[in-house]
């Protein structure tokens, strides 16, 4: 029998959203053939949480879900202590989701100094620096199950993943969510005649879409293999970024009609010049409804 990789899924200050996302992975049977959970909060596993905190169970990968605070305990033991214990014996640590990576929504919880493992929003932390070489971050609220699983397979195959400045695999995070968006034609010609749920119009100009400056593969690796937020008619909320969650997710912050956040790598002067040219086009086909008239 081939050797399975042993994985510990540790839930810190979390809503279990990443767990639920992971349970939608379509090839779970295959996955569980190659990996086993020594502990997972909702999947049957060999050991109990008490076993995990009281003993030292052999393990290859430590997955951390949820924001981290030394004040927060699981089975009466601080999560930081559990992380420190297992980080010494595992090959790799994976921060699963935006909370474990940057602090996310639970950064606002009442626990003292709540953050991600290595980052407090964009700011690198001084703590756990010795673990930097071991850590891979897969951000997202929640993380896309294929991004998580494919990262685990890369670890299993000892494939060298190139990481960005936030330790995220470039394979999945070098692109922006804008890449692969089916509304790109509307973006190009600055047509924002969108209403929520509609499949036409760009949502960047008025409806808060953060896809042009959010790193992620949502429009390249679809959710449940069929859809993404922008395809379903909802703006990208930038959930893979350290800035998540922003306020007013459904409106675009503008200064005198100019979006405050521009597409990654595009200077303001260049953007305005291009926008001015694009806006000169009046394309009737895009201005009116294509379907459902």
Partner 1 sequence: MLDKKQLKKEQIIQTALELFASKGFYSTTIPDIALSLKMSVGNMYNYFKSKDTLAIEIIKYISAYLGEKLKEINEQEISTKEKTRKIVEIYFKTASLKPEMIDYFLRIYLSNREVFKESCEGMLCVNEFVTEIMIYFEEGVKCGDLREQDFFSAFGLFMGYLGGMVFLKGENVLPKDLNDYVDDITFNIYKALSAE
For partner 1, the binding residues (CB under 8 A) are 254-258, 260, 268-269, 272-273, 276-277, 279-282
Nearer to partner 1, 132 or 270 (CB): 270
Q: Which single residue is written with the structure tokens 């930097």?
A: 132
Nearest C-alpha neighbor of 63 from the set 23, 100, 34: 100
Q: Give, in order, the Cα–Cα distances in Å from 188 to each of 124, 131, 180, 191.
A: 35, 43, 13, 8
CA distances from 197 to 14, 126, 200, 236, 238 (A): 29, 43, 9, 13, 18
Give the nearer residue to partner 1 in terms of CB position, either 250 or 281: 281
- Minimum CB distance to partner 1, residue 248 (Å): 13
Sheet holding 35-39, edge to edge: 35-39, 5-11, 61-65, 92-96, 135-138
202 known ligand binder = yes
Q: Which is nearer to partner 1, 225 or 260 (CB)?
A: 260
Q: To which residue do tokens 């470039």 refer?
A: 170
Least separation, in Å, of the C-beta of 280 and partner 1? 3
Q: Which is nearer to partner 1, 39 or 186 (CB)?
A: 186
User: CB of 254: closest distance to partner 1 in angstroms?
Assistant: 7
The tokens for 179 are: 């890449």
* Least separation in angstroms between CB 273 and partner 1: 5
Residue 263 in contact with residue 173, Cβ under 8 Å?
A: no
Minimum distance of partner 1 from residue 117's CB (angstroms): 33
The CA dihedral of 161, 164, 166, 171, to the nearest 10 degrees, is: -50
User: Smaller CB distance to partner 1: residue 196 or 281?
Assistant: 281
Under DSSP, the state recorded for 13 is B
Q: Establish whether 59 is an annotated binding residue.
A: no
Q: Which residues does the annotation place in the binding site for [3Fe-4S] cluster?
A: 218, 236, 239
Residues at the binding site for [4Fe-4S] cluster are 15, 99, 141, 178, 181, 202, 209
Residue list for the binding site? 15, 99, 141, 178, 181, 202, 209, 218, 236, 239
């Amino acid at each position: 029998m081939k050797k399975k990789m042993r994985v510990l899924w540790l839930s810190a200050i979390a809503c279990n959203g990443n767990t639920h996302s992971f349970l939608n992975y379509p090839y779970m049977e295959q996955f569980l053939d190659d990996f086993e959970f020594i502990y997972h909060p909702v999947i049957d596993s060999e050991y109990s949480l008490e076993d995990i905190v009281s003993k030292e169970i052999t393990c290859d990968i430590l997955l951390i879900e949820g924001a981290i605070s030394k004040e927060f305990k699981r089975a009466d033991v601080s999560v930081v202590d559990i992380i420190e214990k297992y980080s010494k014996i595992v090959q790799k640590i994976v921060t699963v989701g935006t909370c474990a990576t940057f602090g996310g929504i639970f950064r606002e919880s009442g626990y003292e100094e709540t953050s991600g493992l290595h980052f407090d929003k964009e700011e690198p932390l001084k703590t756990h620096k010795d673990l930097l070489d071991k850590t891979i971050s897969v951000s997202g609220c929640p993380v896309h199950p294929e991004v998580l699983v494919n990262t685990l397979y890369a670890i299993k195959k000892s494939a060298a993943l190139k990481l960005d400045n936030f330790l995220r695999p470039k394979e999945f995070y070098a692109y922006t969510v804008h890449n692969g968006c089916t509304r790109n034609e509307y973006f190009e010609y600055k047509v924002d005649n969108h209403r929520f749920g509609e499949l036409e119009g760009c949502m960047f100009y008025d409806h808060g879409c953060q896809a042009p400056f959010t790193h992620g593969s949502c429009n390249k690796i679809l959710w449940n293999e069929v859809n993404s937020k922008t395809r379903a008619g909802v703006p990208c909320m930038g959930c893979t970024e350290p800035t998540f969650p922003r306020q007013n997710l459904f409106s675009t912050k503008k200064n005198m009609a100019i979006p405050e956040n521009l597409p990654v790598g595009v200077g303001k002067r260049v953007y305005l010049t291009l926008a001015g040219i694009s806006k000169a086009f009046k394309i009737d086909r895009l201005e009116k409804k294509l379907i459902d008239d």
